[in-house]
Each structure stands twice: as C-alpha cells, then as structure tokens.
Structure 1
C-alpha cells in the first residue's frame, strides 16, 4: 500500500452507498461531502492555516466538524477537539496546551452560551489564540476578532494540493487520566484511517446493508472512531447533533439502522420510550460502554427485547472500538468490556502490578497494548509520553483486566480517576478549581455511587473564613462541566492520611466511606 492509502481522504469511497450522511433529516451525498472538504480547505487557507497550525473545533455533531477535520488533514494542520460540555477553565486549558491560533465555535446551541463561556477566559490565558470563526452567526461577543465560517456559502480560492504528512499529528483528543489537567492525545492520519479500515473489516460492514446511528459526540474518540469506521465502509450514517432519546428512537425505528454505539445510559433511555417487545428488529450490534450501576440488568433486558448489546474497549490513546465482543461469545462474556481486537495486528498483554512480570491468562493486571491504532504521544508532553509507552512500543493503559482465550476482559480503572457523566475525570482538575476559590485552603474529591449514579463529592479544608457551599457550587458551575460539579461539599479540619515509605498519602477510601456515612445520616 502507498502512504495515501492511510490518509483520511482515502476513506471517502466513491463506490459506496448514498447518502453518506443524514444530518437532522438532511442528506449529504459523498460527492457533496467531498466538495465541502474542498471548500473547508480553501477557507482554512484563506485564514492563513497551513502545515503545523492548530485549529480548535468547538462544535456539536455537524457536517462542518467532519469537513474541517478532513480539510485540516489536506492542509497539514491539526484539529484540537473541544468537548461541547467544557466550560471556561477546561476550554482555556485546552487552548493553552494546544497553542491553537484559530477556534471554530458554535454561536449557540440549546442551553450552551458559548459567548458567556469565552467571556470568562482572558487573553493572557491563551496567548496563541488569534481569531474565532463562528458557525451560524456573523460574530459573538468576545475579546478576539471574529470571522464567520462561511466556507459553504462563499467561494474562496481553491488551495493548492498540500496533503499533510500522514504520520504527523492531525487530531488531538483530550484525556484526563490521573493528571490535574487534560492531556492532549495526538493521532495521525495513519492511526485514524488504518483503524477505521480495521473497524469496517472486523465488523464486516456492507455499504448496501448496514447503517449507523451516530449519537456520540465527534469531539471524543468513541464518536469519532465509529464515524470514521462507517465512512471507511461506505455505509450511510444518520447523525444526532447531540444525544436525545426521542430522536434516537425515531431514527432507529424508521431507517432500518443496523449499528449504534453509546453508553449503557443512552440505550437505557431509548428502551424506556417503548413497550414494544422487539422495537428495533434491524439492529445487529449495539456496542456499549458500561458506566452506570445496573448495566448487567440492562443488558439482559435489552437482549430479551432484541436489542443486542456488545461489550467493547477503547481509550483516546488506542482509539475507541479497539476491541469488541463477538456474536458467538456466550451472553455473559459478550456484555463484558474488552473483547477481541479489531485489528489483526493488535497485541494485548497483561502485567502483574505487584511483580512487574507478564501475567498468565486469567490473572488480573494492567492491560498493555500495541496496535496500529496507538497514539503518537501526548502533544507537547514528551515526559508523559515516555511514561506511558514501553520501550517495545506497548502502551500502559492504566486499566486492569485479564486475558481470556485470545480475547481480554476489562475489569476496572487503576488509580484514582473517576468516571463521571460518561467521561474519565481526574480529581485534581476539580480540586484545583476548588482551591482557587476564596475560603478554601485545600480540597480532595472522590467519586461515589449516589442513587445508582456515579457522582463526585468534595472535602475542603477552610481558611480562617470558611466558604459557603452554595458559593462554591455556583463558582464551579461557571468554570466546569456540570457532571464535574460535586453533589456535596463537606468542610473538614483535616484529611485522613497514612504514612508510607513514599511519604504521607491521603486515604481516598476513607474519604469515600466518610461520604456514605454522612449521606446515610442525612
């Protein structure tokens, strides 16, 4: 294969089903999408975006998002994906770490006030940002110059062909892990395109028979990987701009959808809308990530009603849909996270966390992965990259699991990272925001199960003037996504600690126990 076989452009097949996409009932053919990519590339060139430049994309699921990614690849530029649930502190961090010079942003979407969020970011926080490009409006109130993203309406001079190096970064995802601020996971055209082809092949996707309901955000690897896999297959993709159960149910029912991917909570909400015994007879695979308690019971109910859930595994570093269960697996095995790697060239091993030796099959340890889908590294963070990747190329996932007959099982996340609202969140990110508030000397955050939902709870040590919980919550709501705002904030005199050879460590398990005791007392 030539290098161009692994470009994003190579995924756009002409001998495929049409339309390529359906956005809110509006079809977009493959020829139309190719034209939109040309137009977006010309627009980027007109904005002075070229090789190595960073463009932050802060959009919901819309054709502009995908066209910008493919156009950036053509220009040799890099897209930094911004989560639409992010608020000022998170957006500022991403813009600063990425060094984005341009950000394409929504004018408004439902209850999200993008302008108000941007107003809470100072120019000094993001010195590289030069300009905002607004989709859906001429401008928004902001301290940066604004232009209109009018690539599809105005004829810009076509940019000369400048296909980017397929082994250089083209897309940056955010991932928290256990760090205090999100790291940026860099992927190239080769890692994205080769994995997309592997997904299409492993799932045996037929463009004339299969279709996807894309209900996950493009800004994350779960949504983007499934999208690219079906583009590579040449199958039609029905897109939700943001997940809502009612329109998802409607599309599944009316358009003979065969595949969809999402969280257990998404599928739970969709099933709750109908009493029909087998509401979606055309569905073949619903790949799901189990984030909420009771997911096994949900899987059993879904199975009984003809909605086939398949466990899977992925991360920003090795991409989503890295692996998935097979139809021939026993039901109990099929719904477990993990499964069989999509790529025949992927390798999975497990390392005993106590001995440091590779573990035998069935023995739990840290999952390590080598695969064509593996990331290039953490953008502008060589130290974190060195820590994450073994000398032989295997990525240390930080996840615990075990090997099982050629497949593997994901069991839990190592360390203190929390899964909130379907996203992996580092406690330090929330703790830093709390410690910046008046009246807070120190803070610790843990996750607990509250009424069947994973929520975070904070403990703060006060200064001489103790803070008011209402004031802290209001401040955090301004600065962070809603799912990161603690359900409770408790003021205490000191954190429970233990002495070890490596110093004093805070007992997070004890903090979690304290939370449950206090809630029970309430």
Structure 2
C-alpha cells in the first residue's frame, strides 16, 4: 500500500500504474518509470551509506536532467530538504544560498558547457561551505585535485558500486509528508533572496491536481521541460507530468531551434514557460502551424506586453493560455481555459488547479477592504499548497500572511464574475498616474502598435512634483521621429495622464536571468529615467 502524502509516493504509484511507459526522454535516450525507480533506489542506498538522513539539508547543483530528478526523489525518500542551486549563479549567490541553508552534503557536476562548477566552488569562501561533510561530483576525475580545495569528493565510481536491487523501504521509514521537501529562492534585495519552504505533501497534492487540470493524465500526453528544475515553474510542471503518467522530454538549457525540433519529433502536447522562452521557440519556426500536436501551452508574462505576440501565436495554431503562480502558492497554480474569448484567454490568472479548495480574494490597497468582482487590488490566496514559511525568517513569514492565513502575493489583479482570476502586474510594477493606479501594459500595448517599435517598457517617475510615465523603446529598425510617433499614438488612444512625458530609445532592457527566464529590471529603468531628466 502506497502512502500518498510523501513525494516518493509519486514514483511508487507511477511504477504500479505504468511501469513500462516512458517517463523521460533525454538526449535521445528513453527511460521507463520502472527504470527511473531503479535509479532512485541506487541513490537512496548510496546516500544512506554516507550517513544522509531525515532532516538533513542537501544542496543539489546540477543542470536539468533525469539525474537531477532521481537525486531529488531519492533525497525526498530519506526525508531530506533539497537546496537547489541555480546553475547560472555566481560566487556571491552560491555563498548566500550555502550560508542560509547550511547543507550537510552537496551533489554537483563538474562542469556544463563553458562553465566549470568545480572551479567556481573552489573560489567560494570556506566559511560558506563548512557545514558540508559529503560532496558527490559527477564527471570528476582525480586529476582535478588542484580545484578540490582540501574537500573530500566522491565520484561516479562510488555511486556505481551500488547494485540498486535492494528495496528502498529497508533503508528508512516512510517520511512524513509535512517535512520540507525543497527551498525555492525568491527574488532578493541587498540582503539576498528569501528561501520558500514547500512540504512534500504540498508538492504531491499540487502535482496530482495539475495532472488532472491540464489533462496530463490522458493517454499520449508529452511535456517539454525547458525551465530549470531549481525553480517552482520548472519543477511543478515536470512533477505534474510524472503524476499523470505523461512522458517528459528534458533539455538541459534553452535553445529555441532545438526545443522546436524536439517538440515536433516527440509530438509534444504540453509546455509551460515564460514569454521570453516562447519567443525564442516560436521565432525559430517558419511553418505556418509548427506544432500540430499542441494541446496546452501555458505562459507567464514576466516582461513588457506579450498580448499581441500571443494573439499572433493563436493564429498559427499555438494554444497559449495565461497562467498564474509563485513559489509560495506553487507555479502553474491557475490557468485560463478555452471557454474564454481569445482576449481573456491570454491574460494571466484563471481558475485554480485545486478548484474550490483554493480561495482567492482581492484587497483594496488604500482602504484594506475586500473588493467585489471587477475591481483591482492586491491578490490574496489561501490554498492547500500554500508554503509553510520562509526559512529562518519568521518576521518575513508573518508579514506575508494575513491573520486568517491568506498569502499576500504582492500582485495586482481582480476577480471576474465567474470567480476566475485576472493578474495585472506586480504591485511594484504598477504605476500611479493622475491619482490612479495604472497597469503599465495598458500603455505598452498602444506603443507596440507603432511602426518600427520592437518592444517597450513603461515606468513612472516623479517629475516636477507629479508622477509621469516614461517609455523605453526598442526599435525593429532605425527610424526618424519615433519618439514623436509614440507620443502621438498615446495621445490618440489614452487619457492624457497616461501619455509618456519622455520616450527613450534603448538597444536592450536591463534584465536579470532567473529560473523562469529573463525579467526586466524596471527599477533600473526608473533610475535611468531619473538620471536622463535630471531628477
């Protein structure tokens, strides 16, 4: 009998239901669910032999792959908390994650493409890794001794000695589902990111809900996993596919052309990702209808207006649906459905995968009153998959929750009459103009229709004792008088207080790279605007 509140139950259940079905495709190799379970068993045996036990924090520093997932499930089977390290991190970010979590062990790979993780680890301040007793490094050979910095490493040979034939249950009791399974990193400030704790049972519940909601439990479904597993967006999607028995095609880093080819080869039906990711994949395709097997492609718009691009994608048979989610309530928490008009279908938000068990309400930012349908305010959520807190940060946890247990998302949105959610923007991205709270995408949508405008991002700054809009524009080709064309278009289509005071041309927007893709740094744009106008 499988106890279903711990993460490893997904593996046991999948092997009971469809042992010989394909769980993963990676680099042309297929892995069945039963083969994947054997990989996990071998790792559980190895970890147990190294003294890893329930309650330990273990850092996982690997690129997307079957290995990442098998280590993760194995560590969950032992009741460990996984600290996923983003492979794009630099020295300071790695030090911050290590200091905050104090992992007992580190599982890593030697390198990926041009980045040498072993060299990077050797540069990390010693105090940041002093908690680590065990390091496993895939691809390690002992000619790398100069980079080992006196730390003791285990290599592939050590792991291969485990036969993988023993029953997992002989190594440890079944873990309690309330144990923290993983720490997701939020966007940080100067103090570094907060670490979001999600329990094993939360992840299981969400995976099962998503499998049904998105149709990943139907025969013949295939997911393309693109986003890094170290983030909620990437991990939640692959766990949902695993729960539903769908095959997952894994790529270790996004290349638009490679992703498009794999989608055609494996008849991919489902894809989840950012607007930036979709642009790279779709723009690599010349065919009028490039993905005939597509069923549900969910997206989160993290940058400037994606509306027109999504409309054009639907015209090519690419079924893009707006999503909503976060590390605190889980990624792909909700989605729009095809009963909506196209205009509504491509807005962020939608109906929760948890159905009536999830409660969403909107709070007025000025009065703190709960708002009726159609009125914008801060989104608050209470659901079965709400996070259990921020690691070692009780104050931040208290500040993130209402007295009755709703998570204060920091996002702006409203509820439709049917109860579904519409996400508008981060509250920090919303701008106050003429005394009104304005979603910058409203202005960006108008500007994107101006000829030769490739992309735009609108921010607000204080100028001569009033808040004004400032537009930063990327050109598709160099053109004269573009600034005046942008302002004229806004004057024609928008209220006067929404018309940008200035329009600046840029070659690129300042952006940060995270597990969900690129995010424009609107704060940096505001600083640039203030400097340009002499504030």
Q: Specify if TM > 0.5.
A: yes
CA distance in 2, matches of 1:241, 1:510: 34
Following TM superposition, by how much is the alpha carbon of 1:163 offset from its aligned partner in structure 2, in angstroms? 2.0
Q: How does 1:32-431 map to 2 (within 5 A)?
A: 32-138=35-141, 140=144, 141-143=147-149, 144-150=151-157, 153-155=160-162, 160-176=171-187, 180-344=191-355, 345-404=357-416, 405-415=418-428
- Closer, same or farther: CA 149–384 of 1 in aligned 2, 3 Å: farther
In 2, are the aligned partners of 1:292 and 1:454 still within 8 Å (CA)?
no
Following TM superposition, by how much is the alpha carbon of 1:166 offset from its aligned partner in structure 2, in angstroms? 0.7
CA distance in 2, matches of 1:76, 1:174: 20
Following TM superposition, by how much is the alpha carbon of 1:160 offset from its aligned partner in structure 2, in angstroms? 1.6
CA distance in 2, matches of 1:483, 1:273: 18
Following TM superposition, by how much is the alpha carbon of 1:393 offset from its aligned partner in structure 2, in angstroms? 1.6
Q: Which structure exhibits the higher relative contact order, with contacts defined as CA atoms closer than 8 Å and separated by 6 or more residues? A: 1
CA distance in 1, matches of 2:157, 2:419: 50
CA distance in 2, matches of 1:202, 1:392: 27
Q: Greater CA deviation, 8-17 or 188-197?
A: 8-17
Are 1:5 and 2:4 counterparts? yes
Following TM superposition, by how much is the alpha carbon of 1:484 offset from its aligned partner in structure 2, in angstroms? 9.5
CA distance in 2, matches of 1:508, 1:59: 31
CA distance in 1, matches of 2:177, 2:414: 34
Following TM superposition, by how much is the alpha carbon of 1:249 offset from its aligned partner in structure 2, in angstroms? 0.8
Following TM superposition, by how much is the alpha carbon of 1:371 offset from its aligned partner in structure 2, in angstroms? 0.8
CA distance in 2, matches of 1:274, 1:44: 44
Q: Greater CA deviation, 82-91 or 381-390?
A: 381-390
In 2, are the aligned partners of 1:178 and 1:416 still within 8 Å (CA)?
no
User: 1:4 is paired with a residue of what secondary structure?
Assistant: coil
Q: Greater CA deviation, 98-107 or 177-186?
A: 177-186
CA distance in 2, matches of 1:68, 1:296: 39
Following TM superposition, by how much is the alpha carbon of 1:9 offset from its aligned partner in structure 2, in angstroms? 2.2
In 1, are the aligned partners of 2:59 and 2:105 still within 8 Å (CA)?
yes
In 1, are the aligned partners of 2:2 and 2:9 still within 8 Å (CA)?
no
CA distance in 2, matches of 1:485, 1:400: 18
Aligned to 2:503: none
In 2, are the aligned partners of 1:178 and 1:415 still within 8 Å (CA)?
no
In 2, are the aligned partners of 1:101 and 1:128 still within 8 Å (CA)?
yes
- Closer, same or farther: CA 87–62 of 1 in aligned 2, 3 Å: same
CA distance in 2, matches of 1:150, 1:288: 41
Q: Number of matched residues? A: 447
In 1, are the aligned partners of 2:77 and 2:174 still within 8 Å (CA)?
yes
Following TM superposition, by how much is the alpha carbon of 1:129 offset from its aligned partner in structure 2, in angstroms? 2.3
Aligned to 1:504: none
- Closer, same or farther: CA 322–330 of 1 in aligned 2, 3 Å: same
Unaligned runs of 5+ in 2: 431-470, 475-505
1:116-164 deviations in Å (ceiling 9; x for gaps): 3223311123331233210122355132221115576221685523222
CA distance in 2, matches of 1:483, 1:245: 14
- Closer, same or farther: CA 456–219 of 1 in aligned 2, 3 Å: closer
Aligned to 2:510: 455
CA distance in 2, matches of 1:152, 1:32: 16
User: 2:172 is paired with a residue of what secondary structure?
Assistant: coil
CA distance in 2, matches of 1:282, 1:346: 31
In 2, are the aligned partners of 1:293 and 1:452 still within 8 Å (CA)?
no
User: 2:396 is paired with a residue of what secondary structure?
Assistant: helix
1:255-314 deviations in Å (ceiling 9; x for gaps): 111001111122212222222111111101111111233411210121111111111011
Following TM superposition, by how much is the alpha carbon of 1:509 offset from its aligned partner in structure 2, in angstroms? 8.5
- TM-score, with normalisation over the residues of structure 2? 0.78
Are 1:513 and 2:512 counterparts? no
In 2, are the aligned partners of 1:19 and 1:29 still within 8 Å (CA)?
yes
- Closer, same or farther: CA 22–150 of 1 in aligned 2, 3 Å: farther
- TM-score, with normalisation over the residues of structure 1? 0.80
Following TM superposition, by how much is the alpha carbon of 1:391 offset from its aligned partner in structure 2, in angstroms? 2.5
CA distance in 1, matches of 2:37, 2:252: 20
Following TM superposition, by how much is the alpha carbon of 1:102 offset from its aligned partner in structure 2, in angstroms? 1.1
In 2, are the aligned partners of 1:350 and 1:402 still within 8 Å (CA)?
yes
In 2, are the aligned partners of 1:138 and 1:147 still within 8 Å (CA)?
no
CA distance in 2, matches of 1:255, 1:325: 25
In 2, are the aligned partners of 1:3 and 1:166 still within 8 Å (CA)?
no
CA distance in 1, matches of 2:322, 2:158: 40
CA distance in 2, matches of 1:48, 1:248: 40
CA distance in 1, matches of 2:124, 2:223: 37
In 1, are the aligned partners of 2:48 and 2:171 still within 8 Å (CA)?
no
Following TM superposition, by how much is the alpha carbon of 1:10 offset from its aligned partner in structure 2, in angstroms? 2.2
Following TM superposition, by how much is the alpha carbon of 1:180 offset from its aligned partner in structure 2, in angstroms? 2.6
Give the root-mean-square deviation of aligned CA atoms.
Answer: 2.8
